[in-house]
Structure formats: structure tokens, C-alpha cells
Amino acid sequence: MKFLKILSILVLALLLVGFDMPPQIPSSFYGTINGGSVGMAVVAVCDRTVVTTKTFKYENQIVYSLDVDGNHKEGAIIRFFVGSKLVGTGVYHSGTNVRKDFFYSRWFFR
């Protein structure tokens, strides 16, 4: 009986430790959109997570910045879309801040 009490206390302690874990740090991306305009949608798709941001002007360039947060597997592929066009891919690594510049043309088809 004493063993059962000790075992249940240990299991409860392990469960509480598991719920006290800090959240995973996002994988961040930023860069320029050559050929883009202010207010265009930039979409990152990783697994089933979709993250959207808008382009803005910074130092006479069209730029974007976004965080792909969540519980993704390290090395998961991220697809980037500007407007509705696939413009590139990236790799999910928690805690990184990666520059990815993209070319956008409404006449460019893949």
C-alpha cells in the first residue's frame, strides 16, 4: 500500500513537470520581396499551420517579417507564397531568424 502511494506521487510529479515546460521558440523569417508592393500577403505553410503577414516599406524596399510558431518538427519544410504564387521554401528550426529574399512577378508562373 505504501508503495502504491509513493508511485502515485511520483506519477503526479512527472505530469506536473511536463505541463510546466516553456513554449517552443518560433522560427522567424524576414527579407525583401523584389517586384512586390506594400500590403501584399506573404503566407508561410508548415505542416498544417498557416501564418500570414503583409508586406511593408522599409528603407525604400518592400519587406516582410513573420514567425512560424507552434510545435513543428525540426527540419520541417516551410513553403512561402506571395499573393497566391509559391516563391520559395525554408526549413523550420526553433529559435532562428533567417533572411529569405523572394522575387515576385505577376507574370511568373510555376
Tens digit of each residue's pLDDT (9 = 90 or more) over 3-46:
677 767 766 666 666 566 677 889 999 999 999 999 999 999 99
Query: How close are the terminal C-alpha atoms of the chain, in Å?
Result: 68
Which residues lie closer than 8 Å to 86 by C-beta, 6 or more apart? Answer: 79, 80, 110
Strand blocks (E) in the chain = 27-34, 41-46, 49-54, 56-58, 61-68, 77-82, 85-91, 97-99, 102-103
Confidence band for 101, pLDDT divided at 50, 70 and 90: very high
Tell me the whole-structure pTM to 2 decimals: 0.76
Mean pLDDT within 92-109: 86
Q: Is the pLDDT score of 83 beyond 90?
A: no
Domain ranges of the chain: 24-103
| CA separation for the pair 55, 48 (Å, rounded) | 23
CATH T-level fold of 24-103: Immunoglobulin-like (2.60.40)
